[in-house]
Structure 1
């Protein structure tokens, strides 16, 4: 008889799309020397993975941990989406266990989509009424994925109108060496700007000389053409 982890893996394999299986390793930079080096893909879309996750949302945390050891990217994403489903329950003890489990697995949350589809719910929303100190520790981690979790988790705060942590973490990681972080920080600044456009304008105007260009472009994407032209001028 199949274990639940074998069953989930088999279900995902049956949803494999040969064309996407060919494309995904290039899209997620799984080649030698790239940030996703060595990752393997079944070629399953996110909507299909969500459907599998919803069907299996009651599996045990130990089974989630086992799924997270899979060589297949989509199996790990499914495990994370199961965690997101579980986090919807109004159970503080469960949400704490999910938070702890998530942070124990960040080496396996090893691509931008895995981070972005999960951390807002499992880290950000959990911390809404708690200390945010863990985000600052994650921001200083040598692991790229910890750094991305730190900034993208602030999306939960932004949605509540709380912008301080987004700007503080942006300051701390402004000169991060990786383009994936430039994109993530720029994205979160853009989201913060939807809540307070004047603050974002002042921030990017003050940092335009030393902010990485990719970060800057992402941050000002919603500005008018005239505003973007002013901001993109080097001082």
Structure 2
């Protein structure tokens, strides 16, 4: 059956993805995204569709209804969830444009996304990274940001990463305040994927806004930062400066 002819449904998206799936790629992706017992992606299922191809399928189904997107996000297959998030990003962007701005529709997308996050469906680093800064970040640009601090205290590592990555939208808008506060609160988080995200966001503060904001944070916190976060945060500093911070 032709996936496009089946209409805008989650099943049609899934059929389109499976038509281009590669079992050899599935094996590679299972390893790359750490799906073994006890690993961060424990139990996740891949069918073997690379990101550019998944994005191509998602583009074909841009008109997918929200309830069908939600069905994709509840799939046990990783590529289904990734495609659902890409479609959801596009939906949020479409109702955020000046000529089509619809704040009620934006709120509906945000609520759907947060529900998926909280029921554990945005549950790998690529899923978080492709969506948080494109949905939650823009939504909160001109709103109070307590939501991110609640997410940063959640038991789920993925919710904490959503908090950090959402703040990337603020960095791109020239505002480092929320990122710095979130990073300060997560310095003791021992999960590697949180440490990487923390260091990454700090590095972006220094690159995109003001290096002095980064070095000021490091002057205060470098001595207690984990090696991974510190390595990421100092990556673009001069070798001598980087060595000085990493020696603390």
Q: Same fold judged by TM-score > 0.5?
A: yes
Shift of 1:19: 2.8
Match of 2:35 in 1: 30
Match of 1:51 in 2: 56
Distance 1:38 1:171 in 2: 32
Which of residues 83, 87, 108 is equivalent to 1:97?
Answer: 108
Q: Which moved more, 1:70-79 or 1:51-60?
A: 51-60
2:179 is aligned with 1:166: yes
Shift of 1:74: 0.3
Tell me the TM-score normalized by structure 1.
0.96
2:159 is aligned with 1:146: yes
CA offsets 1:150-207 (integer angstroms, 9 cap, x no match): 0110000000110000000001111112010000010000111111101211211321
Match of 1:14 in 2: 19
Shift of 1:49: 1.1
User: Which runs of 5 or more residues in structure 1 are unaligned?
Assistant: none
2:217 is aligned with 1:203: yes
2:125 is aligned with 1:112: yes
Distance 1:204 1:12 in 2: 44
CA offsets 1:15-46 (integer angstroms, 9 cap, x no match): 21333211111111100001110000011111
2:207 is aligned with 1:215: no
Q: 4+ residue runs of structure 1 moved beyond 6 angstroms?
A: none
2:187 is aligned with 1:182: no
Helix, strand or coil at the partner of 1:105: helix
Helix, strand or coil at the partner of 2:88: helix
| Count of aligned pairs | 234
Distance 2:181 2:221 in 1: 13
Match of 2:168 in 1: 155
Tell me the TM-score normalized by structure 2.
0.91
Match of 1:70 in 2: 75
User: Which runs of 5 or more residues in structure 2 are unaligned?
Assistant: 95-100
Distance 1:211 1:118 in 2: 27
Distance 1:57 1:94 in 2: 15
